Amino acid sequence: MVLVLLLAYLLIAASFAPSAYGQSYPAPRARFAGRVLMTAALMMEGALLGTLVAQVVALQSVFARTFALILLAVLLLYPLRTAQRLAQDIPVYRQRAAAWDAREAEIRALKAGGAQDLIVRFLRTERSQDLGDQADFRLNRCAAALYGVNSIVAVPMDK
């Protein structure tokens, strides 16, 4: 069990190192690998702890099994709480999807009209990173390649 924890710590530190070296703190995209490693390590620790507890004869009483079942039932409620909290965000997700769909329709209409250097609407309400006002910005270059145009620039516009 100690070996799993030590290995997980080393792998998480190694996955954070490139981003932390450049920014002094790992970027959100770099923390994803660390979360995956931590989740896998915690699952492995749980499996090892369960195997260890199953081998202890003193813990195989009716009281211990009842306690374990009650604990399991309580732990099963947490994902339901999370699902309920996420369900409250569905209208916001629908609104974002509609804005993205409208902008995509705008991009396709401009391209169909023969434009190759597009100026589109900036989605200021997005919490995620959006297209920028510079054609050489990495997301703008990717979007231009995706839609098959020379460049795409997003600027704030009135409706």
What is the structure's pLDDT at 5? 94
Segments of the chain with pLDDT less than 70: 20-24, 26, 57-59, 125-128, 159
What is the structure's pLDDT at 128? 67
Residue where one domain finishes, among candidates 32, 57, 87: 87
Residue where one domain finishes, among candidates 55, 87, 119: 87
Indicate whether 37 and 64 sit together in one domain.
yes
Residue where one domain finishes, among candidates 87, 115, 130: 87
Q: Which whole-number Å values give the CA distances from 89 to 9, 32, 79, in the listed order? A: 34, 22, 16
For the chain, how many structural domains are there in total? 2
Indicate whether 54 and 76 sit together in one domain.
yes
What is the structure's pLDDT at 48? 92
Indicate whether 81 and 8 sit together in one domain.
yes
Whole-model pTM? Answer: 0.52
What is the structure's pLDDT at 42? 94
What is the structure's pLDDT at 41? 95
Q: What interhelical angle do 28-55 and 2-23 show, nearest 10?
A: 170
What is the structure's pLDDT at 21? 67
Task: Provide the residue range defining the domain that includes 78.
Answer: 2-87
Residues 6+ apart with CB under 8 A from 33: 12, 15
Indicate whether 105 and 136 sit together in one domain.
yes
Indicate whether 81 and 103 sit together in one domain.
no
Indicate whether 75 and 121 sit together in one domain.
no
Indicate whether 49 and 8 sit together in one domain.
yes
